[in-house]
Every structure is written in C-alpha cells, then in structure tokens.
Amino acid sequence: MAALSPEKKKRTTTLTPEDFTAQPEVREAVAKVLADFKGTQPKIVSDVIDDAGHQYVNLVQKGGGVLGIALVGYTYVLEQAGIRFLKLAGTSAGAINTSLMTILKEKEDAKSEAVIQILCDLDFFSFVDGHPAARWLIRNFITHENFNRIMLRWAIIIGSMLVLLPLLCFVFFGLQHQHPALAVITQTAFGLTALGFVAICVFSGWVGSLLSRLKNAGFGINPGDTFYDWIKKIFEANGIHTVEDLTTKARKRPASLRVRENAPQTLENLDGDVTFITAELVTQNKIQFPAMYNLFRAPGDKPIHPAGFVRASMSIPVFFESYMIPDIDCTRPEIVKAWADTFFEKDPPGTARFVDGGVLSNFPMNLFYNPALAQPRLPTFGIDLDDSNPNDKTKNPYFWTGGGYLGRVFNTIRFYYDKDFLIKNSMYQAGVGSIPLQRFKWLNFFLDNQDKVDMFICGAQAAQRFLADFKWEDYKQTQVAARKQLS
C-alpha cells in the first residue's frame, strides 16, 4: 500500500480527502468498477433505479470500533459505481457510518466524500475522554505491541521481590547474631519489605477507588460525552434536531425512483429507512432505534435527541459508560402498551441502560428480510469487518488459553443471532462483502494517518472484489427458490 509522507504520517489532523481517494490502490479499484458499471453494458445489481441511472440497494454495516474507517472506503467505491442506499442499518461503528450516510445530503447524492472530510477533521483519540491515567493506559496497552509484556515483566519482578524480601529478612535476622555485620543488610531488607507492603496497600486502595468510580460512572472508563457532542453537532448541522426529523429524512425516497421496465414488482411500500442496533440491559432486549423510540417516550414527553441512538449503539462495555434514558413515564398507557406489544413486558423500566449493540447483533442482516415478496426488488448488501487472526482459528480446543476460551464463549453468544439468520437464509450471504483487517486493532483510537488510509484502501479493494463477483440474477433466483422451499 502506498505510504504517506513522513510529515503526514506523524500528524493526525492534516489529512485531506485526496489522501484517501487519490491512493493508487483506490484509483485502481474505482477504475475497475467504472469499467463494469459505466461501459456499454453496465452491470446490473438492482431492479430499483432512478432517472439518473443510480441503482438502489439496502445496506447493513457491521460494528468494529475504529475499523469503521474501512466501511467508508467500501461505500465510497459502491457510490462510484452509481449505487445508492434506500434502507440502512448498522451497529456500533456501523451505526456511525449509517447515521452519516442517512443525514448527509439526499438519497440520490454520493455521500462518502463528505464522510471522508469528517474523518479528516476528526481526532479519534478525543473520544477517549476519561481520566488522564485511563487515557495513558488505553493508549499504551492498545498502541504498543509489547506493552503487555513489559507490564507482565514488571509484575513478575515486583512479585518476586515481595516474596524474596520477607524470606531474606528472616534469613539475615537469624544470621546477624552470629555475624553482626549482616545487621545493616537485615535492616535494609526489613525497610524495603515494609515499603513494598505499604505500596501494595496504597495501590490496592487506589484500585478500589477506581472501581468505585467505575461503578458510579456507569461501569465505563470514558464518559462518551465527546462522541455524543460530536455526532449531535453533525446531526444538527444537517437539519436533524428531533426523532421526527431523522425518520422523515430516512424514509424520503427520490422523486424519480422506479423499478426497471421488465421487473414484475412495483414501488408499493418501498420507502427508505434507518436502524441503529443497541442492547438494553434492564429488560435484556435488543432495541432498534428509531423504530422503538415509543418504548421510551410518548407524545408530549421530554424528547430524546436522535444522536443518542448512535451513542447507545456504540457504547462498548467498560470502554464507554452506558447510555442512559431516564424518566420513562411508565404510567403512560402508550408506553405500557408499546412494551407489552413489543416484548410482552408488563413492567416497563423507569430508566433504560444501553450498551453496544454488538453484544447481541453486530451484523443485523435480518432487518430487511421481507418474506411477503416472491422476488426481491433490490438486494441487501452487507459489509463485514473481518479482524479475526488466522492463527487463533485452531480447531483443537486443548491448545486454547484461558483468554482464548473466554473469548470464544463471548463470541459464540454475540455472533450466534446474526449467524443463525445467515445459515437459515444463505441466499443473503451472496450480498455480503468482507474486508480483511487482521493487522489492525479495533480499539486503537490513537491511529496514525497511515493506518487510517490503509484501512480505507482495504475497504475500497474489498468493495471492488465484491461487485466483480456479485450477480443480481443469481441473487434473485436463489431467493425465489428459497421461498418456494419454505412455502
């Protein structure tokens, strides 16, 4: 991959959109796509089009922390192919790009370049807005490959000293009666031992106070206020101040939208939409915003800013504080009915607490499944962020570490819901493109410029490969055959 100049690589606030889009690999990917989509026989990927020749698809974007930069590279190439997005959904980082792709400009407009400009202006590490000590630890643990080893080495050294010093104290204490010259060494050993245990007590007290602060802060190291203020400012700069503003913008479809002449369907009930996935802990449910907004507010209640939906979706447990919706008026019949109809919940919570939607559904490909249609009018494209390490994919469980075991337990739980849908509806897999991102860390908020550009390139190349392989007629026929089997 082409490298940036040393000056640009070091500084984190001097990127321009051209630093992303003018990369040779990106230009090559775009050129290949244009050859397929703008030639004498343009490639068809959807039966829903507009008078400008744009083809419309639904888009689902997977969560993955800062790996979301690759999503922008992917959507950039899709837009260069003339593809536009009618319904959008995403979780966590996917929710962030989904929100930007929804609120910027109009549906028929290309939006990725505006998103790239937002990336250029953004200092990712500003989102790590917790205590300075926490910022230092996060920065070092995540960005330095050997930091964990260094910390482990120091822990071993300190632990060994705390074991050996008391032992030396007793040994020299017994020998000093026969060898008075050892008295000085004995006193030094006792002094160092006392200092060590005092340090342990102080450190334990400090850790205890941090844990207490963590609990009081909603079990999150970072408040997440910087992110909320950032995304809210973008929402409002684009005229989105209320939930109604968001849903109106998302549902609006281009005036010239139509289906191809030879397509059997119509545009009936085909409007735009947007969905952000989050997990609500009090009732232990998956929440889809803004569709389920009526669970938390009734007409006339104090409104929630729609930027909170994205903040709720990206609330990585422990890393960020939970997003809270307080003052839910459980006496309102509308709210009681909404909970009963949606989740059979007879006792709605007075306060709701949200964490990252990825703990339940990190890749919600099921959202736009419509069993009522005999044949799809447009495909659902999904962007998968693959940061799995091939070296960790051993099939032999006897070689797993404790961390590896716990990681697999957690991943089995959080990936099962989405994986189960794709297994039962394998035709949707044809719409999924995967971006290989194994060398990047999803929580590395202290990215340098080169990492940002490289992730963007990975996304652009993955989009080009996906479009080259995607066959709309095969996609349609596979879904038609699957529906016949189920009927």
Q: State the catalytic residues.
A: 92, 356
Q: Which residues contact 192 (CB under 8 A, 6 or more apart)?
A: 161, 165
Residues 142, 442: Cα–Cα separation, whole Å: 9
Q: What angle do CA 164, 168, 174 make, to 5 degrees?
A: 155
Q: What phi and psi, each to the nearest 5 degrees, are found at residue 261?
A: -60, -35
136, burial (CB in 10 Å: exposed 0-12, middle 13-18, buried 19+): exposed
Question: Residue 366's closest CA among 389, 383, 382?
Answer: 382
Closest CA to 356 of 227, 243, 232: 227
By C-alpha distance, which of 28, 26, 36, 30 is closest to 470?
A: 36
Alpha-carbon span 122 to 100, nearest angstrom: 14
Distance, CA of 152 to CA of 144 (rounded, Å): 14
CA angle 59, 62, 67 (to 5 degrees): 120
H helical segments located in 314-439: 333-343, 402-424
Burial class (CB in 10 A: 0-12, 13-18, 19+), 28: middle
Residues with Cβ within 8 Å of 249's Cβ and at least 6 positions away in sequence, in order, are: 102, 103, 239, 240
**Tokens coding 223:** 């408040």
Distance CA 286, CA 370 (A): 20
Cβ distance 448 to 14 under 8 Å? no
Asked whether the CA dihedral 297, 302, 303, 304 is positive or negative, the reply is negative
Q: What are the DSSP E strand ranges found in 339-484?
A: 352-356, 380-386, 432-436
